[in-house]
Amino acid sequence: MFKSKKRGLAAAFAAVGLIIIAVLAWMLPYWLAGSSMAENTQITLELQSDGSILAGWTPAENCDGYVVTVTSSGGDTLFEASTVQPQCSLPDLSGSGEAELSVSTWRSFSRFGSERVRIGGAVKLKTDLEPPRLDSLEMTPDPDSKTAAFSWSGAEGDTARLSLTNGGETRIIGDYSGGGCTLSFGEGAELNMPEYGESYVFEAAAVREGENFVFYGQSAPAVTLVRDDLLGLDLNMKCDDKGHNIYELSWDETKGEGYRIQLRDSGGEWQTIAELDKTAEHSYTTGRLTPFEDFEIRILAFGENMEETIAGPESTSIRTGASAVYASVWPIVDLEMYDSAARSTVLCTVPQASCCCVIAEEGDMFLVRYDSFIGYIDSSYCLINLPDYIGHLCAYDITNSYDSLYMVHEFEIPEVTGTVVAGYENVELKEGEYLAPLLYPVAQKLIPAAQSALADGYRIKIYDSFRPNMATRSIYDLTESIIQNPLPEAPYLEDVDIEELNLPEPFEGAEAVTYYQLVTNGVYDLANFLARSGSYHNLGIAMDMTLETADTGEELEMQTRMHDLSWYSATRENNQNAYLLASYMTAAGFGGLTSEWWHFQDVDTKNELNLTNYMWSGVTSAGWHHDGKGWLYCTADGTAYRNRTIQIGGADFTFDSSGYLIENK
């Protein structure tokens, strides 16, 4: 019997075990399928264009989906749906009053081959499903601060979500309370400035907030912002001196279709030097402006009608000064070119009279461009073009280049008077524009003399500076060949009254007054007026000049015309104006000739540099030039090569349609 009881107890335990196993097999899948919404779950409701509401929430862990239920305050189910995404589209439930929205998790599990679902914990909220709304959205741009102020009003208070649509893409700017917000635009700001042709469309949606939800409702009518809305009418121009008479302008962007840069010299008319499209950079760099000139420069913005000024003009005054940079220079002797101002390594030899362009000045050395070389040459032995270097500090009329004034007291010297003198064929670049070379140390010495004259209301006018030796020899030989000839019956110019020339009686025994008699008067010789073989002009240290009034350009009356090769021009015959001219020049360290009131020379520089080489040939513009904007290469008449590739010093260089060198990148 004992054994029988023992077997019965074992069977009972086995049965209990089987029951427990069966219960576990039944319940375990259910337990393992448990899930729940997190306690801090946030629900977002967002009104859609069709009136539906997109509900979204924080994703739960360990679930396969969600059950969304909307129940009225009376307990009726208004909506129920299941979704696998943490969002669900609710129908238009406006007018339902306060309702409860419940979001529960669900997870599927398998029990004995049968698929089942377990509903998990829910998160609930109670709210009126009538969407909040904004009645209006207003925008006020402020061009001065590059900001736009937004304000709104609506039944649901003053909280709103601001969004921006641009190029078909919409992004949320932010949620704002307080009835408005201000956004800034530009570099480093909240938003970039709209590009031209681009529109920023702003919308503001009403926002209702609760403990665990946010409801984004109806938007007010959108507002549009374009670039012009953030642009004012103040140019606020800035002018920076970049050195070497080059200036950089910068200004604030304004309304309008573009910008016009204008320049005028003292007493002149405004000239447009550039027109920039509104999309261009708001900066402009001038070319090299003429030295020693008063300029005004201005900028204005124009509208669709090109003549209509929208903003400005903003202007500033500029006074330029001397600058050797970008001036044309010519070695008066063959000069070695070095790789540095320290004269370390010789790159090449620059032949006498070769046109070079100065890039920089370092001590007594010029950094120049010559042929295919860039290097340093000794500035003391260079002729520099005065119009490039000192510009309007002096006036220039190099008559030898188009209509020589050489006469003997108003009487023609055949083959000299009215001609282009040998060696001056390429000196006149265009009417009123000349090459006027002078040795650089002498040119520096000329500046204080010219400034003193200008302070008194006068301007030095230069008729000749460097004169090639071929011209000296030609003028002397041609004049000497007729020196013993009697004077012509009438002066060279028809408007000259022979009775006013104060001509002497013929020398005793002579039948008529000769050229020789007018030149010498028994005191002087032709060599007092014309060098026989070598002249200080050939060394680049002498000038022929007069004075003119600075305001009108009218020449002061002297005792004779310029280049009157006669004793009437002697300094002992000087009038008050000639003495005034001499006072300016001698005070600056120049000496003169007793036979010519117009001639001044710098013998000290000649001695310091031991100058003995009388340069034979004339100078030309054939070579490199720079106008402050780019490199050009010119022919002898000053014309730049355009739209072509040329070989210079064995290297190929290509120039564009404006004549500028296309640099290798």
Q: DSSP letter string over 614-636?
A: ---S-----EEEE-SS-EEEE-T
DSSP state of 193: P
Whether 550 and 461 have beta carbons less than 8 Å apart is answered as no
Q: List Cβ neighbours of 265 (8 Å cut-off, separation of 6 or more).
A: 290, 293, 294, 295, 392
Tokens describing residue 295: 């300029």
pLDDT of residue 134: 85
Which CATH code for domain 136-229? 2.60.40.10
Q: Which tokens hold the place of 37?
A: 């919404």
Backbone CA torsion sign across 456, 462, 465, 469: negative
As a whole number of angstroms, the distance between CA 542 and CA 442 comes to 8
Rounded to 5 degrees, what are φ and ψ at 360? -160, 165
Tokens 């009418």 — which residue?
Answer: 233
What residues form DSSP beta bridges with 147? 142, 184
Residue 323 to residue 243: CA distance in whole angstroms: 9
Instruction: Name, in order, each residue with C-beta under 8 angstroms of 233's C-beta and a sequence gap of 6 or more.
Output: 143, 254, 255, 301, 310, 311
The whole-angstrom distance between residue 530's C-alpha and the CA centroid of its chain comes to 51
For the chain, the domains span 43-128, 136-229, 231-319, 379-609, 627-655
**What pLDDT is attached to residue 273?**
93
Angle at 358 between CA 428 and CA 449, to 5 degrees: 65
In order, the DSSP letters of 545-557 are: EEEEETTT-PBPP
Continuous segment of H or E residues that includes residue 602 = none
Spatial distance between the Cα atoms of 434 and 210, rounded to a whole number of angstroms: 86
pLDDT recorded at residue 142? 95
The predicted-structure confidence for 268-322, as pLDDT tens digits, reads as follows 899 999 999 999 999 999 988 999 999 999 999 998 887 888 888 999 999 999 9
Whether 231-319 and 136-229 are alike in CATH topology: the answer is yes
The Cβ of residue 200 has, within 10 Å, a number of other Cβ atoms equal to: 23
pLDDT of residue 599: 98
**End-to-end Cα, the chain, rounded Å:** 113
Q: What are phi and psi of 523, to 5 degrees?
A: -120, -45
Q: Note the pLDDT of residue 46.
A: 87
The DSSP element (H or E) to which 197 belongs, if any, is none
**Pairing, β 98-111 against β 213-219:** unpaired
d(CA 561, CA 462): 13
Q: Which fold has domain 379-609?
A: Muramoyl-pentapeptide Carboxypeptidase; domain 2 (3.30.1380)
Exposed e or buried b for every residue in 425-442, given b needs 16+ CB within 10 A?
ebbbbeeeebbbbbbbbb
Angstrom distance (rounded) from CA 578 to CA 367: 39
Residue 123 identity (one-letter amino acid): V
**Which fold is adopted by the domain 231-319?**
Immunoglobulin-like (2.60.40)
277-283, Cβ contacts within 8 angstroms, sequence gap of 24 or more: 278/196, 278/253, 279/196, 282/250, 282/251, 282/252, 282/253, 283/248, 283/249, 283/250, 283/251
Q: Which residue type sits at 235?
A: L
69 closest CA partner among 106, 35, 42, 30: 106
Predicted structure pTM score: 0.74
CA-to-CA distance for 472 and 112, rounded, in angstroms?
126
What is the rounded distance in angstroms from the CA atom of residue 319 to the CA atom of residue 326? 18
Angle between helix axes 440-455 and 576-587 (nearest 10 degrees) is 130
> If the chain, 665 residues long, is cut into consecutive pieces of 10 residues, what is the mean pLDDT of each piece?
64 67 66 80 88 90 90 88 92 84 88 80 85 89 94 76 90 89 93 93 89 85 94 93 93 93 90 93 92 94 86 92 96 97 96 97 97 97 97 97 97 97 96 96 98 98 98 97 95 91 87 93 91 94 98 96 96 97 98 97 97 94 93 94 94 94 77
**43-128 placed in CATH 1.10.287.3610:** no
* CA 234 – CA 369 distance, rounded (Å): 42
